[in-house]
């Protein structure tokens, strides 16, 4: 299952989101912290959730939202374990902030998702909160394996809360969630 795009129309290119993704890639290449799985999550989820959130506010407000979420994650991470890799905690906190912000702004959003079947790729619409739950499950999986340390997973939950609350204060032009296409009954 690969989410492609949410159903929220955007008016502009998500430049700051693309810069966040580039920063995640560069940070991973330079410091190598977080593992490949964490890198994939930190690249994919900002793309899926960030563009619509960025479009709902001025670029500087979006940067502020990301900084607040990253700082909240680092603050909680430092309180839980001062030896945790704070760059990884901050990156995961920003991703968590975008997930929380998207669900808060657009709880009825749906994501067009490619589902591979044998010899076929089909597209289905999945609810945004379901993908947020998938993100949360992936974080729990990482914590259970102990690969990244529980703090790297627990601290970003502060980002979810900050994202869900702060986006309500920072968003300027929230889009209407398009109505779901009517199902057609065949005789």
Q: Would you say residue 152 has pLDDT above 80?
A: no
Instruction: Give which of 36, 175, 158 is closest to 95, Cα–Cα.
Output: 158
Which is more confidently placed, 122 or 83? 122
In terms of pLDDT, which residue wins out, 82 or 167?
167
Q: At what angle do helices 15-31 and 59-80 cross, to 10 degrees?
A: 40
pLDDT, mean over the chain? 84
pLDDT of 166 strictly over 50? yes
Q: Is 140's pLDDT higher than 70?
A: yes
Q: Percentage of the chain surpassing pLDDT 70?
A: 89
The residue among 167, 141, 124, 153 whose CA lies nearest residue 7 is 124
- pLDDT value of residue 180: 66
What is this structure's pTM?
Answer: 0.86
pLDDT at 148: 59
Confidence of residue 50 (pLDDT cuts 50, 70, 90): very high
The stretch 2-23 carries a mean pLDDT of 90
Most confident of 34-43, 92-101, 136-145, 151-160: 92-101
Question: Residue 146 and residue 132: Cα distance in Å, rounded?
Answer: 21
């Amino acid at each position: 299952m690969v989410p492609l795009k949410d159903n929220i129309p955007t008016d502009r290119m998500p430049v700051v989101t693309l810069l966040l993704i580039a920063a995640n890639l560069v940070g991973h290449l330079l410091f190598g912290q977080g593992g490949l799985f964490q890198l994939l999550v930190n690249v994919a989820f900002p793309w899926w959730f960030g563009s619509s959130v960025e479009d709902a506010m001025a670029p500087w407000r979006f940067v502020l939202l990301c900084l607040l979420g990253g700082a909240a994650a680092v603050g909680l991470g430092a309180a839980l374990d001062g030896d945790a890799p704070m760059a990884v905690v901050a990156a995961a906190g920003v991703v968590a902030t975008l997930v929380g912000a998207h669900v808060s702004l657009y709880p009825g959003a749906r994501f067009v998702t490619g589902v591979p079947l044998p010899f076929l790729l089909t597209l289905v619409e999945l609810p945004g909160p379901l993908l947020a739950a998938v993100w949360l499950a992936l974080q729990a999986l990482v914590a259970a394996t102990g690969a990244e340390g529980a703090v790297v997973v627990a601290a970003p939950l502060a980002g979810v809360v900050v994202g869900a609350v702060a986006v309500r204060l920072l968003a300027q032009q929230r889009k209407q969630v398009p109505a779901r296409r009517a199902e057609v009954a065949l005789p």
